[in-house]
Structure 1
């Protein structure tokens, strides 16, 4: 069984016991439960159930595994003949979750 959920403006296809990196949540701690009620579709052996726009009464429950950091990205700016050269970096934070159950 799988579900398609919407979180942070993006859609994710999730299955039970799957690890997933979502946007960083500063209030989430290891072991906390998160419920996703914006379930767009649920699929399985019985077929596909589509929502309009969401499936009513469906929810996906996940637990927080920990906080992760993404790969470092470097940003380079340069203007020729202007003596302008800037290099900065960015490292995105993520919250890693494990899908516990899909109800719907």
Structure 2
């Protein structure tokens, strides 16, 4: 009997983004993969008003023209700016709490407030 050999898969990593510049930022307890010109919805930002510039100081990763900067955990010298476009509310999330045998039920809803930001140049 002839021995069967397994084909080895390529171990070359494929690029995440076709764009030459992208970054990973953290805001509102979440991480976002962004590139210049993106419009993202993030957790509400308290102070700024519509049209103001906001800066994200918690930058985890920055790739600019092939140069990679990786934070530990954040990059200390990098800030990414964006323009606050609007504030709004996400769709309603409802939940139902039901107690068996007593015929009690309680329905609640919640709409989280978001800020929509257009990312500027890095």
TM-score by length of 1: 0.89
Identify which of structures 1 and 2 has the higher relative contact order when contacts are C-alpha pairs closer than 8 Å and 6+ apart.
Answer: 1
Pairs aligned (count): 102
Structure with higher Rg: it is: 2
Return the structure number with greater strand share.
1
Rounded Cα–Cα distance in structure 2 between residues aligned with 1:7 and 1:30? 18
5 Å matches for 1:1-104? 1-102=21-122
* Structure 2: gaps (5+ residues): 1-20
Instruction: Determine the C-alpha separation between the residues in 2 that align with 1:82 and 1:48.
Output: 60
Unaligned runs of 5+ in 1: none
Partners of 1:43 and 1:86 lie apart in 2 by: 49
Ranges of 4+ aligned residues in structure 1 off by more than 6 Å? none
Give the root-mean-square deviation of aligned CA atoms: 1.3
